[in-house]
């Protein structure tokens, strides 16, 4: 029987060699790139997206190290301050970063007020999409901004059943939704 190839659309690497800060009382346990590879050794993982968490702030050192260790089949989703230079964005792109994350739910990233301008700028410079960790019940106030962005995805099925109708409206307008984080959502994903 042929194994199906899997692209791991959302994984976190927490390497104690690099800065990690408690966020909302949460400090994740270590989960290094070698730990990740051991955890998926029985699956046919063809690549993945290493996503910066709220606890990693704007640090790029862990992400660049993880991208180097896991190889070119993996890409990075980072958090950057809006004032990041074009040169730094392009340098990160050369190293495999493909998206900027706005962590609306837990913080630790650039503020949502900068979403429109920064997401457009990053897309113009490097072709990246904006990735939002947001509870879908909070989409009503941001739906106009989100729907006009050149490329955007929303993490973890939008997290809540309450906002799911708003999430589906954005999907109809071309917004992508990641089927990830099933343990974080408050509804049955099926």
Calculate the average pLDDT of the chain.
93
Q: Which CATH number fits domain 6-177: 3.40.50.450, 3.40.190.10, 3.40.50.720, 3.20.20.140?
A: 3.20.20.140
Instruction: For residue range 127-183, list pLDDT tens digits in order.
Output: 999 999 999 999 988 999 999 999 999 999 899 999 999 999 999 999 999 999 898
Handedness of CA 161, 163, 164, 167 (dihedral sign): negative
DSSP states of 144-161: HHHHHSSSEEESGGGS-S
> Is residue 131 within 8 Å of 109, Cβ to Cβ?
no
Instruction: For residue range 43-53, list pLDDT tens digits in order.
Output: 999 999 999 99
Q: Which helix (H) or strand (E) holds 37?
A: helix 33-39
> Is residue 152 within 8 Å of 123, Cβ to Cβ?
no
> Is residue 158 within 8 Å of 167, Cβ to Cβ?
yes
Tokens of 132: 């939002």
Domain ranges of the chain: 6-177
* C-alpha torsion angle, residues 117, 53, 59, 74 (rounded to 10): -90
Give the contacts of 181 (CB within 8 A, at least 6 positions apart). 10, 155, 156, 157, 159
Percent of the chain's residues with pLDDT above 90: 76
């Amino acid at each position: 029987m042929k194994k199906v190839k899997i692209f791991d659309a959302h994984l976190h690497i927490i390497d104690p060699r690099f800065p990690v800060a408690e966020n909302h009382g949460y400090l994740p346990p270590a989960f290094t790139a070698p730990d990740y590879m051991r955890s998926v050794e029985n699956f046919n993982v063809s690549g993945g997206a290493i996503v910066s968490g709220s606890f990693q702030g704007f640090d790029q050192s862990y992400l660049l190290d993880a991208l180097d260790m896991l190889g070119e089949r993996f890409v990075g989703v980072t958090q950057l301050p809006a004032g990041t230079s074009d040169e730094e964005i392009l340098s990160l792109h050369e190293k495999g970063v493909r998206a900027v994350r706005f962590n609306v739910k837990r913080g630790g990233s650039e503020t949502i007020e900068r979403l429109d301008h920064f997401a457009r700028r990053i897309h113009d410079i490097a072709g990246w999409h904006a990735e939002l960790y947001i509870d879908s019940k909070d989409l009503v106030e941001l739906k106009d901004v989100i729907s006009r962005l050149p490329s955007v995805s929303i993490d973890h099925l939008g997290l809540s059943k309450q906002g799911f109708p708003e999430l589906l409206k954005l999907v109809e307008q071309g917004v992508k939704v990641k089927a990830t984080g099933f343990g974080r959502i408050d509804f049955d994903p099926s």
